[in-house]
Every structure is written in C-alpha cells, then in structure tokens.
Structure 1
Amino acid sequence: MSQPQSHTRPTGLAIWLIIAGVIGWWAAFQLTLEKIFLLENPDAKAACDFSVLVQCGKNIESAQGNVFGFSNPILGVACWVAPIVVGMAILAHARFAKWFWWLFWLGHLFAIAFVCWLIFESIFILHTLCPWCMVTWSVTIPSFFAVTIHLLRSGVWPLPAKGRGIAGRLMSYVPLMTIVAYGIVILLAQIRLNAIPNVWHTIQIALGWV
C-alpha cells in the first residue's frame, strides 16, 4: 500500500528533486563536454551552436561562463547531485534536521540568484540563448519555488499554523509560478533579442524545413 503524502516525508517534492537533479546534471555534463571539446579544438564550433543567437560556445568561453575561475558547468555537475541524493533519501524515509533544510534552501537560493544573473548576462550582455543553459534555468526556477514553499509549510520557518496551511496550498501553484517566471524570461528575450522568430527560424533550419 502506498504511503500518504506528508510534509515530513514529501514524496512529491522528492520525486521532483530527483527529476530536476538528473536533468540539471545532464545539462551541466553536456556543457562540460563542450568546454573540453573547445579547449582541445580552439578553432572548432560547439555542437550546440545553432546560430548567432542560439549557441552555447560564446557563453562557456566568456568571463560569465567562468565566474569562479573554472567553467560554470563543473559547478553544476557537482551541485546537481545534491537534490538527487536528498530526493532519494526522502523516498528512503530519511528525516532531516531543520539546519539541514536551511542549508539545502541556501543552496537553492544561491542557485536561483546565480541563474537570474546568468539570464541577465546572457540576454543583455552576451546576446545569446544557450540551449543547455536554458535547460538548467528551467529546472532551477521551479526547484527554488518548491523547496522554499516546503520550508514554509513544514515549519522549518517559524510560521503559525494558519501560515503553514496557506504555504501548503501554495505548493499546488508552483507550476503556475514557474510558467509566469518562464514568461518573464521569454518576454525579456523577445524585447532585447527578438528571440521568438529567431529561435523558430533556427528550429526550422535544424529540422531541414527551410
């Protein structure tokens, strides 16, 4: 018989953390491979360079792509393991202390702040949309929302019972919150880069439609 969902053992959150972690890790791993390829072949073009707008070569070769003195995707390969491990541990009935959830949330806070900065740099400074970077953005945003709301509803943040109840109901709105966040990014990209027609044209070329 399946176990009921609870805030102390949030199976839905656990499953999402595993899915997000795998997707984020794979995107970071692919970018790491592209970085290694470009280091070995300085005159070559990255496999994810589809057009002047849709490319990852410019991003991973830029200063923004090497913020900490090494390629950003290496950080992703290391850090995306954390949500996978936490998600698996929750499914294995592990319970975590409040300090652990705080550290886990701080990791997600760093991730969302870093992603927001990278989105700004990519759109307004580099004028590119990196495919694998966007995959990372797409899972970081809902992960931050979900973990934040879980801390609110589970009492890790000291809220009264009514506040925890409201937070619990908010979890069902994470998809909507995520769509709104995606919409803001798309709007910024469209205003700055005229992204929608350019990306659509790139897709048509890649599929051989034009």
Structure 2
Amino acid sequence: MSTRSGVRPPAPRASSSPAAAEDDDAGRAAEGHLSADPVPPRRLGLLLTVGGVIGFLAAFTLTVERFKLAADPGYEPSCDVNPFISCGSVMSQPQAALFGFPNPLLGIAAFAIATTLGVLLLSGTALPRWVRAGWQVGITLGFVFIGWLVTQSLYEIRALCPYCMVVWAVVIPLFWTTTADSLDRGVIPVPAGARRAVATFVEYRLVAVVLTCLAVVVLIAQAFWSSWVALV
C-alpha cells in the first residue's frame, strides 16, 4: 500500500491465540524467567539491603540487651513496655536460646549475609545459582524458625518482644520475595504442570506477604485481646 499520502497502514495486532501465548512462554523461558512479571534484581537487592540493615540492627540490639540482662538480673531492657510487651519476659525463657546461645546471634549473621547479597545485586552483580540456592535454604529455615517463635511468644511465653516483631516483619517479605525469585529463575524446580500456577504466584507475590502479615496480626489480637481489654 502506498504511503505517499503520509498515512501509514495500521500495525498488525498482536495475536492472542494459544500459539502466541506459547511463544510468549518460550520467550520468557529463554530469558530465564517463568513469569511475565519477574522480581527485578535491583528491587530484590534493595529489599535485601534495607531489610538486612533493619533486621541486623534489631538483632544486634536484642543481643546487647540479652548480655546486659545476663550480667544484671535486675536490669530492665529498654523495650519493656508492660507485662505483655516485654523483651525481658521473652529473653529470660529457654526458647530465646534454643541452640545454647542467644537466638539474635543467628539473626546478626543472617542479616549480614542478606545485606551483602543485596549490595551485590544493587551493584549489578549476577549471583551464581548456588549462592541463590543457599540463600533460599537459609531464608526458608529462618521463616520456619520465626513461625515457631511466633507461636512460642503468643501461646507459651505470653509476651511480645518489640525487637523480635521487627525481625518478623523483615523476614516475611524477604522469604516470599526470595521464594518467588527462586521459582521464577528455576532455582527451585517447577514441574511442567505447575508452571502457570507458579507464574501467577510470582506475579502476585505481594499478596502472600500481606496475607502472612495479616495472619500474624490476627493471631496477636486473638491471643492478647482479653489481656489488653483488662489493661484498659
């Protein structure tokens, strides 16, 4: 068709046929991604860096408070607000040193690693697959450990540690975002029949973060509601 009049023919519309969808899937696979909305490396790097720093500070503060409490049983930690929001009540329990040393020491090491990985991603460094796999294992263990600590705080110790809750709030998004990235990149193998479902999870990963945080808030409210009402 002539374009002398200055009017160009309309561009062909993208096909929405199953074949086109398969081509899109193949294109993403060739790029190393399962989802159409993968986790941007720099965004993951920013999350790891910021979350790592916040978590490190919380874990470090808890460690200092724990050593002060060990040196002076009469010491009142700075995060003791009332009988139900009290670091001291939590730190004095066996669950606070599950492996024979203060739990926050694990956090210091883990969040230092998170921060390092985050800085590397922000600098544009491509992390080897084994590094991503190792971090996935570590953050998964941390997520499970945090889940156990939540249940212990709510139903056994019956007290909340503010700095511990900061760690919870950091680990939740780190876990879900890392897991989404690992699934998307194939670090976690995905069966062919589950690829579409996993791709949907990767795209809506923020929903998992929000739902997990809401679940923790609901559990806290349910466990301490009568106690808080009594205080009022």
- TM-score, length of structure 2 as denominator length: 0.76
Which consecutive unaligned segments of at least 5 residues does structure 1 have?
Answer: 1-5, 202-210
Q: Report whether the alignment pairs 1:145 with 2:188.
A: no
Find the aligned partners of 1:95 and 1:8 in 2 and give their Cα distance: 14
Match of 1:156, SS? Answer: coil
- How is 1:2-41 mapped onto 2 (pairs within 5 angstroms)? 10-41=41-72
Find the aligned partners of 2:63 and 2:164 in 1 and give their Cα distance: 11
**Amino acid corresponding to residue 55 of structure 2 in structure 1:** G
Q: Report whether the alignment pairs 1:155 with 2:196.
A: no
Q: How many residues align?
A: 195
- TM-score, length of structure 1 as denominator length: 0.83
Is contact 2:39-2:177 (8 Å) kept?
no
User: In structure 1, what is the equivalent of residue 134 of structure 2?
Assistant: 103
Is contact 2:39-2:181 (8 Å) kept?
no
Find the aligned partners of 1:143 and 1:196 in 2 and give their Cα distance: 32
Find the aligned partners of 2:213 and 2:74 in 1 and give their Cα distance: 34
Alpha carbons of 1:195 and 1:88: their partners in 2 closer, same or farther (altered >3 Å)? farther
Is contact 1:8-1:95 (8 Å) kept?
no
- How is 1:1-210 mapped onto 2 (pairs within 5 angstroms)? 10-159=41-190, 167=198, 170-194=201-225, 197=228
Find the aligned partners of 1:186 and 1:88 in 2 and give their Cα distance: 31
**Amino acid corresponding to residue 50 of structure 1 in structure 2:** V
Alpha carbons of 1:22 and 1:139: their partners in 2 closer, same or farther (altered >3 Å)? same
Q: CA deviation at 1:196?
A: 9.2
Match of 1:157, SS? Answer: coil
Q: CA deviation at 1:147?
A: 0.5
Task: Indicate the structure (1 or 2) with the bigger Cα radius of gyration.
Answer: 2
Q: CA deviation at 1:175?
A: 3.0
Identity %: 30
